Amino acid sequence: MGREDFGTIIQIGDILVSEEVVTEYFACDYEKCRGCCCVHGDSGAPLREEETEELEKHYPVYSSLMTPEGREAAESQGFFEIDRDGDLVTPVVRKTHFVEGGVPGTSGYIGTPGLEDCAFCLFENGNVLCSVERCFFQGKYKFRKPVSCWLYPIRITKMPGGGEALNLHRWAICKDAFEKGKREGTRVYQFLREPLEFLYGKEFYEALSAAADHING
């Protein structure tokens, strides 16, 4: 570890982790956000190349849970798009978004050009869920969902010389999650233990926890 003007960078193998990942608090407050991160933004969720293959392979299983617009987007655009930064992202439905008082499936949930729903969204009782993840929990396949969704609010950046950098992403719609994490004393890395261990292994997480203890005192 080394402290620079930009804070502490934790290095574990070829993985660099921003100090905020272990110092900031976070815990999804789904009762308040209702999954709005899936229907906000100007592009889809980042994808790894191998994830596009998983999405295509299992499409016959989860597609029945998607909206007709979502199925049309996936079937016409494919299982990924290239965003303006040149990155692979999930296909989107450029149609709707949350408005004040709006609930999916009601008259308060209106269309606004330029804002995008992930094509794989599942709308249920005013909540936004993931059709892919729903089928995973039903035991229909082993692919859970794109890593970028599972690992949020951590974003992964590929390093030019190899390795990856893990940084905290801040989004106004997750304000309640940062507040809930602080109330409960849950740090970002603790909330994301499962996906971190899935991606990098238990030894990585143990090393990250040790670094967090050192930094947080």
So where are the chain's domains?
2-26+153-216, 34-144
pTM of the predicted structure, to 2 decimals: 0.84
Percent of the chain topping pLDDT 70: 87
What's the CA gap between 162 and 118, in Å, rounded?
30
Distance CA 162, CA 84 (A): 23
Whether 26 and 191 have beta carbons less than 8 Å apart is answered as yes
Q: How far is CA 130 from CA 20, 66, 119, 121, 200, in A?
A: 27, 9, 9, 5, 24
Closest CA to 103 of 130, 124, 89: 124
Confidence grade of residue 113 (pLDDT, cut at 50, 70, 90)? very low
**pLDDT at residue 7 in the model:** 65
The answer, yes or no, to whether residue 12 has pLDDT greater than 80, is yes
Q: How confident is the model at residue 43 (pLDDT cuts 50, 70, 90)?
A: confident
Residue 102 confidence class, pLDDT cut points 50, 70, 90: very low
Residue type, 13: G
- Residue 35 reports pLDDT greater than 80: yes
E strands of 32-171, at which residues? 81-82, 88-89, 92-93, 117-118, 121-124, 127-130, 154-158, 164-168
